[in-house]
């Protein structure tokens, strides 16, 4: 059943039927209801491909993941983010497209996305410091919103981000106030912008309290469980071991906890842990009383917001870039306590 058949069935022109269906004013109410009824009865649905071809809109949003950073896709944080975004899209009748793009020829890849015309805009994931994609996308004129920011990029662009620097400064300071002086940082990969900012925050807190930054207490890797375990195991085996850990993800924190247990130490008494991103759907941070003291901000909410920003950018292209900085809350859990001196 297509438009033509429907209009023949109704003894109307395609124009009228199309207008009736799409809510244009130049069609009488009686005709409109008649058309709507027939469409319903005959199970008519417009072909989106044809519609897109005619209107130039695809009714779809792309989520772009650099292949180099493919693990991103499998990162539970990503799942939460797109779950949030998905809700917004569904509400507006948009589809969500996942795209793995090779980093070899990014220019080509993004131009491709634009030229193929299968999406109206994209969400850029995993921005690095001075991310070239931002200039590229601005140049080729594909609407986009970045999940995160990119230090050193001067151009205006739309983004939504959590205050990573502020959160880590706050968290580190919290540990310092508990008396900790030897605080380890288990960061994500520091070419990623969010991780870079987190380190800045951590360092700022230390400096503010006259504690020297010790490179041997800082690690930067993909935020897996095993990473947290290995790093903590090694650090805890030192003669002068750290008394606290700041982790970039609850998954890493779980690894640290494993190492703490294995070393026969007790959480919060011998070793404190504070973590960011603790509110993942399948890995909730305990219930009323959180397991880990955490810097919490809803990734899912960020996803929904990012989607809404992008949709409005697409609806009104001349709009100026929008930005949104979310603050993480410090949630006190059972993984932190005063430093033993």
Partner DNA sequence: AGGATTTTCCAAAGCGCTTTGAGTTTCGCC
Partner DNA sequence: GGCGAAACTCAAAGCGCTTTGGAAAATCCT
Binding mask 235-254 for a second copy (x = CB under 8 A): ----------------x--x
Are 254 and 209 in contact by the 8 Å Cβ rule? The answer is no
Among 8, 103, 105, 112, binds a second copy (CB under 8 A): 112
| Rg (the chain; Cα; Å) | 25
Verify binding: residue 36, a second copy, rule CB under 8 A: no
Beta bridge partners, 326, equal 162
Determine the Cα–Cα distance for residues 69 and 215; give it in Å rounded to an integer: 25
37, HSE (Cβ side, Cα atoms, 13 Å)? 7
The greatest distance separating any two alpha carbons of the chain, rounded to the nearest whole angstrom, comes to 88
Choose from a second copy, DNA, none: what does 287 bind? Cβ within 5-8 Å by kind. a second copy
Among 132, 177, 284, 329, binds a second copy (CB under 8 A): 284
Burial of 29 (0-12, 13-18, 19+ CB in 10 A): exposed
Choose from DNA, a second copy, none: what does 29 bind? Cβ within 5-8 Å by kind. DNA
> Nearer Cβ to DNA, position 30 or 341?
30
Choose from a second copy, DNA, none: what does 80 bind? Cβ within 5-8 Å by kind. a second copy
- Residue found by looking up tokens 């944080």 in the block: 77
**Alpha helices, H only, 117-163:** 132-140
Sites for a second copy among residues 60-79 (CB under 8 A):
60, 70-71, 73-76, 78-79
Sites for DNA among residues 8-27 (CB under 7 A):
11-16, 18-19, 21-22, 26-27
- Residue found by looking up tokens 């305990």 in the block: 286
Helix (H, G, I), strand (E, B) or coil at 141: coil
Query: Which two three-digit tokens encode residue 211?
Result: 């504690």
Among 8, 33, 37, 55, binds DNA (CB under 7 A): 55
> Nearer Cβ to DNA, position 51 or 71?
51
Determine the Cα–Cα distance for residues 170 and 329; give it in Å rounded to an integer: 10
Which residues of the chain form contacts with DNA (CB under 7 A)? 2-4, 11-16, 18-19, 21-22, 26-29, 31, 45-47, 50-51, 53-55
Which residues of the chain form contacts with a second copy (CB under 8 A)? 43, 45-50, 52-53, 58, 60, 70-71, 73-76, 78-80, 82-83, 86-87, 90, 95-100, 111-112, 115-118, 222-226, 229, 251, 254, 258, 261, 280-284, 286-287, 291, 300
């Amino acid at each position: 059943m297509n438009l033509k058949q429907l209009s023949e069935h109704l003894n109307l022109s395609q124009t009228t039927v199309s207008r009736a269906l799409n809510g244009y004013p130049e069609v009488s109410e009686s005709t409109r209801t008649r058309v709507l009824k027939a469409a319903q009865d005959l199970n008519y649905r417009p072909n989106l491909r044809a519609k897109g071809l005619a209107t130039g809109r695809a009714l779809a949003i792309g989520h772009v993941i650099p292949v180099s950073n493919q693990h991103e896709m499998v990162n539970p944080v990503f799942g939460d983010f797109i779950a949030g975004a998905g809700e917004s899209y569904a509400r507006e009748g948009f589809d969500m497209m996942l795209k793995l793009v090779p980093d070899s020829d990014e220019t080509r890849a993004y131009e491709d996305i634009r030229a193929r015309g299968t999406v109206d805009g994209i969400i850029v994931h995993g921005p690095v410091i001075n991310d070239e994609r931002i200039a590229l996308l601005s140049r080729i004129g594909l609407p986009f919103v970045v999940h995160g920011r990119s230090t050193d990029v001067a151009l205006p662009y739309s983004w939504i981000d959590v205050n990573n620097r502020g959160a880590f400064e706050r968290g580190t300071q919290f540990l310092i106030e508990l008396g900790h002086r030897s605080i380890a940082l288990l960061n994500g990969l520091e070419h990623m912008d969010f991780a870079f900012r987190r380190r800045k925050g951590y360092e700022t807190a230390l400096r503010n309290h006259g504690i020297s930054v010790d490179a041997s207490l800082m690690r930067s890797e993909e935020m897996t469980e095993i990473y947290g375990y290995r790093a903590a195991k090694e650090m805890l085996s030192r003669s002068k071991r750290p008394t606290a850990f700041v982790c970039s993800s609850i998954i890493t924190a779980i690894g640290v906890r494993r190492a703490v247990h294995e070393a026969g130490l007790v959480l919060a008494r011998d070793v404190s842990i504070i973590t960011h991103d603790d509110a993942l759907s399948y890995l909730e941070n305990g219930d009323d009383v959180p397991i880990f003291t955490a810097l919490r901000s809803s990734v899912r909410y960020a996803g929904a917001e990012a989607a809404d920003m992008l949709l409005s950018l697409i609806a009104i292209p001349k709009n100026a870039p929008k930005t949104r900085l979310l603050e993480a809350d410090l949630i006190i859990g059972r993984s932190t306590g005063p430093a033993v001196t």
